[in-house]
A and B are shown apart, each in its own frame.
Chain A
Amino acid sequence: MSENTSDIIIIGGGVAGLSTAMQLAKRGASVTVLEREQIGNGSTGRAAGLLGQLRGTAEHTRMLMDGVEIVKELEARAGVEIYVQTGSVRVAETPERAQELTDLIEMGQSINFDISEMPIDELAKKMPYMRTDDLTTACWCPTDGHLQPAELASAFHKVGRDLGVHYETQCPVTGVLLDGNKARGVQTPKGEFHAPIIVNAAGPWSYLVAGLTDTTLPTAALGHVYLTTQPDPENPVDRLSPGFRNRHNRVYGRPENGGLLVGIYAEDCAEFDMSSLPPDFDMSSMKARRDDLHLAMLIHAAQQRFRWLNERTPMHVTTGIMTFTPDGLPFCGQLPDHEGLFYCTGFSGHGIVQSPAIGVIMSELILDGKSSYDIASIEADRFWEIPGFQDRTEIQQRCYKMQSSYYGRVEGKTAAAAKEVGE
C-alpha cells in the first residue's frame, strides 16, 4: 500500500480521533490520522477532563465505567498517570436539586454503581475550602475522578503509533473525494490521501468538514471557560480532593496543581462560526479579556460556592470551543447520504471521558457494522430528516439552548429532556 493509502482516514487528532485510530489499529486496520494543527491542540487541549461515570442511562454509565478500564490499560502501556481517582460529589441547595440527587443515588445503586449520600458535615471536612452551610444534600461517588487530557491524548498517540497508526499534523482537510456517493479519500495541502472509510472526528470543525460533502451536521461550536486558581496556602486543595458538580450554581470543578479548577455551563455562552476564524486558528492561543463577560459570570458563580475566590484571586483562565449537539449526546456512526463516511463528534463537553469507550464503539461500527453497546441514543443519524435539523441557524439555536439548559437539566431523565429540547 502506498504511503497515502490506508484502510481508514481519521480527520482530527483530538481524543475522539486518536482513540478510534488506536482501537482500529489494534484490530489490524491501517489508519491515517490527519490533524489540521498539532495532536491534541483543539478542544482536547482545553478540556478539564472531569469524569462522572453516572450518566442519564445505564448504557452510558457502562460506557464510562468500561472507559476507565481502558484507561488503566493505557496507563500501564504508556507509563503515565491519566486517571486521578479523587471521588466526586454532587451538591444540592434546593429541594428540587436534592430530589435529583436522591433519584440519582437510586438509579446508581440499581446498576451497582458506587454512590451514596454524604452527610454535609462529612463533606465540610472533606472540602474545607468549599461553602457547605447552605447545602441540604450531597452525594458521593468514590470511583469518580478526572482524566488528565494531555496525558490521555499522548497515550492514545503513543500506543497508536506503536500499532502502526500514521499521523499527519499541520494537515487540514480541504476536500473529500467521492466515487458517486462512496468515500474515496481526502484532499489536503500535503496532497491526496486515499481510503474507502473516512471518520470525521474534527470536533468544532466537524460541521465544516461535513459541509465538504454537502452534509448538514447538527453540531455547533460553543465557547466554554474555566479557571484554575494558583495554590493558596489559606485554602489548600489537596490533589486528591473530590471533583464536584453544583448544578444550581452551574459550576463544576476539581483539584489542579494545588489550586482549584472551576468551570461553568452558563446560561449564555460564546458562539463561534468556525469558517470565519483564520485558517491557521490555534485554539491553544485563545484567551479571555480582563473584562470577559463569561469569565465574570464564572467567577461570580464560583464565588457563591468558594467564598475566598474572587476576580482578584491569582488564576489561570482557559477558554476553548466545545462541540455541542441538540441533545448533548455525541454523534457516532454513518449518515444515510454517503457510504464510508463516519462521524465521531459532538461530545458536548464530555469528549475526554467518553473517548476511551467511543474508540471501541467506532472501531466496532467500522469493522463489524454494529456495536456491542446499545448506541441508539448516540447514533449519528438520529436527527436525520427530522424537521428542524437541516438549517444551520436552527441547529445553532438548538445546540445553544442545550448548552444553556445543560446544568438546568435533571439527570436520569435525559431522554425526556432531550425530547423537550427537540420540540
Chain B
Amino acid sequence: MKIIVPCKRVPDPDQKLRLNPEATDIDTAALTYILNPFDAIAVEEALRIRETAKPDAEIIAVSIAPAEGEADLRTALAMGADRALLVEHDDTLDPWNVARLLAAVIERKQPELVLMGKQAVDDDANQTGQFLAAQLGWPQATFASQIEFVDDGLLVHRETDLGIEVIRTSLPAVVTADLRLNEPRYASLPSILRAKKKSIEQTTPAELGVQPEPHVRLIGMQLINSQRNCEKVETATELLTKLREAEVIG
C-alpha cells in the first residue's frame, strides 16, 4: 500500500516573529523553519501503520516549498519515510492551490491513503485536507485521534466538541491528523545518516500541469501585542480598584 504524507514547511511558531517593513507579511529574513508539527504526527502515524497493519506500506513525503524545503523532507525521511518528493515553488500558496498541486501528485502516484496534518501551524487554515478530498472525489476523515484498518477501509476516531465520533471510510481516502493521534518520534542516528544519502525527487507546478491561481490574497498582517504590563498589588482591595479602573469588572 502506498501512503502519501504531505509535509508543510512552516516557521517555527515558538520564535519571535517580526513583520516586513511594508507590514504585508512576516519578515522571513532570520526565520527558522520546521516540519509542520501536525504533519510530523501524520508521518509518525504512517510509520506506525507500516510497523503494524501494513508492513508493505511505502511512505512518500511530499512538500511544496522553495528548494530549502528539502531540509524538512529530510526530517520526514530521517523519521522513516521511504521516499520524498519536492514540488519546487517559491511563493506562498493558498490551501485551494496547495490541494490542486497535491491532487496532481496523487493522480500520478496513485496512493491508497493520504495522511496529513489537520492544519498548518502558520496559517491555521485547516482547509487543505478537505479541499484535497473534494478535488479527488475521495472520502475524508478529519481530526483523526485514532486510525484502525478494518476489512477494506478505515475506522477513524474524530475528536469533536461533542465527543469522539467514530466513522468508517473506504479507501482511498484523505485522513487528517489531530494532536492526540500519536506522539511523533525523533530520528535515530542511523536513520538520519541514511536519510542524508537518499535522493529527493523534484518536480514543479508546470511539470504537474498546474498553474497556481490564487483565490486568497494576503493584504496585510499585524502582530498581536503580547507585551504584558505586570504590576504587583499589595491587597485584594487594591486589585479590585485596579480591575474597576481597567473596566474589567463593573
Q: Which residues of A contact B (CB under 8 A)?
A: 278, 280-282, 285, 287-293, 295-297, 299-300, 310-312, 314-315, 317
Contacts and interface: CB of A to CB of B under 8 A. Distances in A.
Contact of B188 (A280, A285, A296): A296
Interface of B: 12, 14-16, 18, 30, 34-35, 40, 74-75, 78-79, 183-189, 191-192, 195
A307 to B, nearest CB: 14
29 contacts: A278-B15, A278-B16, A278-B18, A278-B30, A282-B16, A285-B14, A287-B14, A288-B186, A289-B75, A290-B40, A290-B78, A291-B74, A291-B75, A291-B78, A291-B79, A291-B186, A291-B192, A291-B195, A292-B187, A293-B192, A296-B187, A296-B189, A296-B192, A297-B189, A299-B186, A300-B189, A311-B185, A311-B188, A314-B183
Nearest to A296: B189
A317 B14 contact: no
A233 to B, nearest CB: 16
B188 A287 contact: no
B35 A280 contact: no
A292 to B, nearest CB: 7
Given A278-B16, A285-B16, A296-B192, A290 B183 contact: no
B99 to A, nearest CB: 25
Contacts of B186: 288, 290-292, 295-296, 299, 311, 315, 317
Contact of A289 (B18, B30, B34, B185): B34
B12 A290 contact: no
A74 to B, nearest CB: 22
Contacts of A299: 186, 188-189
Contacts of A289: 34-35, 75
A290 B35 contact: yes
A315 B187 CA distance: 13
Given A296-B187, A296-B191, 4 more contacts: A285-B16, A291-B74, A292-B187, A311-B186
Contacts of A317: 186
Nearest to B30: A278
A337 to B, nearest CB: 33
A289 B187 CA distance: 9
Given A289-B34, A290-B187, A291-B187, A280 B16 contact: yes
Contacts of A292: 186-187
Going nearest first, the 4 A-B pairs with the smallest beta carbon separation are A291-B78, A291-B187, A296-B189, A285-B14
